[in-house]
Amino acid sequence: MGKKKKQQKREAAAVVEGEEAIAAHGEALRGDFENTRAVDIGGITGRETPDALLRGAFPAFVGRQERTGYELMARAMDEDYATFLTLSGAMTPAGLHQSCLIPLIERGLIDCLTTTGANLYHDAHRIIGHRIREIDPNAGDLALRLARIIRIYDLGFWEETLLETDMLFSAILQLPQFQKRMTTPELHYLLGESIAKVEEALGVKQPSLLATCYRRAIPIFVGAVQDGSIFLNIVKLKRLFPETFKLEIDVNDDVYEMGAVQHYCLRGLDKKMAVFILGGGVPKNYTLQGEPLLEQILGVHTDGFDIDVQFCVDPVDNGALSSCPAGEGHTWGKVSPEGVSRSMYVHADVTAVFPWVTYALMSDPKRARPHRRLYDHRAAALKALDEAVALGRDELLKTIDYPAVTEAYAPAAPAAPAKARKKKG
């Protein structure tokens, strides 16, 4: 047999072998497909538990995203993960803290909170007797301005609400305990303590988020603290009383403290971590960046978040941080390998789905645990991270120089002296 025929025979055999392999792979896939969950939904009777309805009647599309998100949140709570929750958007004006967050906190199901300053500020309106009301978003903004009504899409409140809330925070921030340099968890713990006393004095029945987190020792981080009205009142007081008003926010220590809390949960408490992200924005990244701070910057080994659930309307293909999925976050060291498979991006408005998810989570009376009170462990958390950083100091010192910078700022070599001319004559 000639070389050409032998080559053709080998090629034909390879084709047959490839086709057989493809067929076998197809059969394996068919077998796997047959083992997947069938869409076989019974009629809703109205007698189902919230858990049974979510698990049984949401088989596809955003509905299945919601179901999977709920299942992951329930798993994190039932398996005693340390749970971090981030909150962005106008969620307290919408009452989401009253309907969802405070009930979850009281059950011991949230351990640490990151939010915007605006959510904490607007929550305080209700404490001093003001109301946020439902309005027509198409009523006309020029007319609303004439009536001095502030609008947040389809919610509104009097302009006086802002002015009186400013007075409330200005009065609190002048108290002696605030006259020092501090991080945002300390600021909000002290604010929560003062707000709780105001609530008691005024007979407020429904507590604020600040007061609730204070009572349960839940750290509240605000990554962009200067971007909110509480801080605007700090600016005012600093200008009015430059000699006596000493409150400053230490942003360096604030970032470090977030890393310390996460390190403490993983190493001090030996707990896996879950993050529940409502919206996106700064609160999302400020929480997730604790992990690359530890591993990439400080050289302290960490594992990342093991469960990651986000509710957000942003598309995931626009490169924005708000919509960055868990897999992308894993490439940055923010989410563990396990967390990639234990993640869900629920592409929906938080206010449309999270109350229902909370109802399902709260419907199991056994889903409760002792409060972890992470704020009470601040000193231990910071000490533990200080010790871990100190152990790796020699290696860290190798990361603080870059040759091109050293060369760029090196002193210029002195110019060679000019040769003296010989005089004639």
Give the chain as a 3 state SS string: CCHHHHHHHHHHHHHHHHHHHHHHHHHHHHHHHHCCCCCCCCCCCCCCCHHHHHHHCCCCHHHHHHHHHHHHHHHHHHCCCEEEEEECCCCCCCCHHHHHHHHHHHCCCCCEEEECHHHHHHHHHHHCCCCCEECCCCCCHHHHHHCCEEEECCEEEEHHHHHHHHHHHHHHHCCHHHCCEECHHHHHHHHHHHHHHHHHHHCCCCCCHHHHHHHCCCCEECCCCCCCHHHHHHHHHHHHCCCCCCCEECHHHHHHHHHHHHHHHHHHCCCCEEEEEECCHHHHHHHHCHHHHHHHHCCCCCCCECEEEEEECCCCCCCCCCCCCHHHHHHCCCECHHHHHCEEEEECCHHHHHHHHHHHHHCCCCCCCCCCCHHHHHHHHHHHHHHHHHHCHHHHHHHCCCHHHHHHCCCCCCCCCCCCCCCCC
- CA distances in angstroms from 48 to 44, 45, 78, 142, 352, listed in the order given: 7, 7, 21, 48, 20
Tokens representing 272 are 């896996």
Query: Which pLDDT score is estimated for 383?
Result: 98
Query: Which pLDDT score is estimated for 421?
Result: 59
Tokens representing 192 are 């929560």
Q: What angle do CA 212, 196, 382 make, to 5 degrees?
A: 60
Residue at 191: amino acid letter:
L
Per-residue pLDDT of the chain (425 residues; tens, 9 = 90+): 567 777 777 777 776 777 777 877 777 778 788 888 888 888 999 999 999 999 999 999 999 999 999 999 999 999 999 999 999 999 999 999 999 999 999 999 999 999 999 999 999 999 999 999 999 999 999 999 999 999 999 999 999 999 999 999 999 999 999 999 999 999 999 999 999 999 999 999 999 999 999 999 999 999 999 999 999 999 999 999 999 999 999 999 999 999 999 999 999 999 999 999 999 999 999 999 999 999 999 999 999 999 999 999 988 877 777 777 777 877 777 777 887 788 999 999 999 999 999 999 999 999 999 999 999 999 999 999 999 999 999 999 999 999 999 999 988 877 767 665 555 55
Query: Which pLDDT score is estimated for 236?
Result: 98
Residues 71, 371: Cα–Cα separation, whole Å: 22
Tell which CATH classification among 3.40.910.10, 3.40.47.10, 3.40.50.2300, 3.20.20.70 matches the domain 62-391.
Answer: 3.40.910.10
Contact 123, 208 (CB under 8 A): yes
Measured from the Cβ of residue 370, the count of other Cβ atoms closer than 10 Å reads 7
Kindly tell me the burial class for residue 268, based on how many C-beta atoms sit within 10 Å of its own C-beta (0-12, 13-18, 19 or more).
Answer: middle
Query: Which pLDDT score is estimated for 398?
Result: 95
Query: Which pLDDT score is estimated for 1?
Result: 56
Tokens representing 301 are 């080994």
Residues 58, 47: Cα–Cα separation, whole Å: 16
Tokens representing 133 are 């009301």
- CA distances in angstroms from 181 to 113, 193, 250, 283, 381, listed in the order given: 21, 18, 6, 22, 19
User: Would you list the domain boundaries of the chain?
Assistant: 62-391
